[in-house]
Amino acid sequence: MNWGDSNALRPASPSPDLDILVRSIDEIVGWSQREERLEVLEENMRRHKMDPADYKWYFHLRRCGTVPPAGFWLGFERMLMFVYRVSNIRDVIPFARTPGSAEF
């Protein structure tokens, strides 16, 4: 989703995001875009009593111009649960970490 430079197209929520939920499996896919508007970031930092001077390097990066930071993920084990209709995620994890399974 490209918001461009127009704040008129911005949603009222803090940032656009998407989650795809599957019954009995939970969240299988997620996507979100972080806030990149400097004035909004600075206002939120002050509201949470954070010092913007500590993050001057981050503001410098944003002023130099970057793409809106966004990310996508797919829960691979949860996808396997869906495809193979497995009810317990432990049954699809290829290298499960269980008590006593690792020798040191």
Q: What is the pLDDT of residue 3?
A: 46
- Measured in degrees and rounded to the nearest 5, phi and psi for residue 28 equal -110, -30
CB 43 within 8 A of CB 49: no
Q: What is the pLDDT of residue 84?
A: 93
Q: What is the pLDDT of residue 14?
A: 62
Q: What is the pLDDT of residue 12?
A: 54
Query: Could you say which residues of the chain have pLDDT below 50?
Result: 1-6, 8-9
Q: What is the pLDDT of residue 6?
A: 46
**Hey, where are the domains in the chain?**
13-34+69-87, 36-68
The first and second tokens of residue 22, run together, are 């599957």
- Length, in residues, of the chain: 104
Q: What is the pLDDT of residue 47?
A: 92
Pairwise CA distance, residues 18 & 73, whole Å:
11
The DSSP-derived string for 38-86 is HHHHHHHHHHTT--GGGGHHHHHHHHH--PPPEEEEE-HHHHHHHHHT-
